[in-house]
């Protein structure tokens, strides 16, 4: 992609993920060009990439909309993410250096600082959380795994889940990261896989409580 296309991609993606554009909201190339500060040509390239990531979708009439993640969609994405990211944690436990573990500890300290403010800084939490999981994926030393996870990690978490977190949910996420770091320091892949699995299932159920039952599932 050209520099202008990369700029358009980054700005449009941030606009969507921030919640400024609501699910099912229609977007036009002119609107996106204004948001990105570029012409319509690089916007078209950026939009194609965002469609590949399933953040934007086309209607039958080719109109462009912000994707609406249903509970069923995100349940499937969490299941796929759990399979892949548990494998990443297992690989990382056997490959992480002391310097990489120290870097992860620093990231988690930043995450904790964000959630211990009088009013938790969810944006900073999300940035640190993303950096932490990216560090795990990088340590797994599997480019294929990284490519597959790229479409699953951020979208469902940022678009819906983190917005439903209570302060205790945020603190539990930090504790999960602490235990992952402990498993990495012990070079125990089984422990790392188990912690990552429970971490992701807990995140999913936090989301599920907020949005209600899946299609066809009776209310409690």
Can you read off the two tokens belonging to residue 218? 């009776």
Cα Rg, the chain, nearest whole Å: 18
* Numbered ranges of CATH 1.20.120.530 in the chain: 71-211
Alpha carbon distance 64, 99 (integer Å): 44
> Of 90, 93, 124, which is closest to residue 108 (Cα–Cα)?
124
Alpha carbon distance 201, 79 (integer Å): 8
Q: Please name the residue ranges forming H helices in 21-121.
A: 29-36, 40-52, 71-93, 98-115
Burial string for 139-148 (b: 16+ CB within 10 Å, else e) reads bbebeebbeb
Architecture per CATH, domain 3-66, reads as: Orthogonal Bundle (1.10)
Q: 101 with 192: CB under 8 angstroms?
A: no
Can you read off the two tokens belonging to residue 43? 């916007």
* Numbered ranges of CATH 1.10.10.10 in the chain: 3-66
Architecture per CATH, domain 71-211, reads as: Up-down Bundle (1.20)
Digitized pLDDT (tens) for each residue of the chain, 220 residues in all: 688 999 999 999 888 877 788 888 999 999 999 999 999 999 999 999 898 877 899 999 999 999 887 778 778 888 999 999 999 999 999 999 999 999 999 999 999 999 999 999 887 888 899 899 999 999 999 988 988 887 676 654 555 556 677 889 899 999 999 999 999 999 999 999 999 999 999 988 887 776 666 555 545 4
8-state DSSP, 213 = P
> Of 99, 85, 204, 197, which is closest to residue 133 (Cα–Cα)?
85
pTM: 0.75
């Amino acid at each position: 992609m050209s520099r202008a296309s990369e700029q358009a991609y980054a700005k449009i993606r941030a606009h969507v993920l921030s919640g400024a554009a609501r699910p099912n909201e229609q977007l036009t190339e002119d609107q996106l060009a204004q948001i990105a500060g570029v012409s319509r040509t690089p916007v078209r390239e950026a939009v194609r990439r965002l469609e590949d990531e399933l953040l934007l979708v086309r209607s039958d009439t080719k109109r462009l909309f912000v994707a609406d993640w249903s509970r069923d969609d995100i349940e499937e994405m969490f299941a796929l993410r759990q399979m892949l990211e548990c494998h990443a944690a297992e690989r990382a436990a056997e490959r992480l250096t002391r310097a990489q573990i120290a870097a992860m500890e620093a990231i988690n300290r930043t995450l904790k600082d964000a959630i211990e403010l009088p009013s938790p800084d969810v944006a900073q939490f999300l940035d640190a959380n993303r950096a932490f999981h990216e560090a795990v994926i990088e340590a797994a030393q599997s480019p294929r795994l990284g490519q597959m996870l790229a479409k699953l990690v951020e979208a469902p978490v940022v678009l819906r889940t983190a917005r439903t977190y209570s302060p205790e949910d945020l603190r539990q996420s930090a504790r999960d990261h602490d235990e992952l770091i402990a498993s990495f320091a012990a070079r125990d892949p089984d422990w790392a896989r188990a912690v990552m699995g429970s971490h992701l299932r807990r995140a999913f159920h936090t989301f599920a409580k907020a949005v209600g039952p899946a299609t066809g599932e009776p209310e409690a």
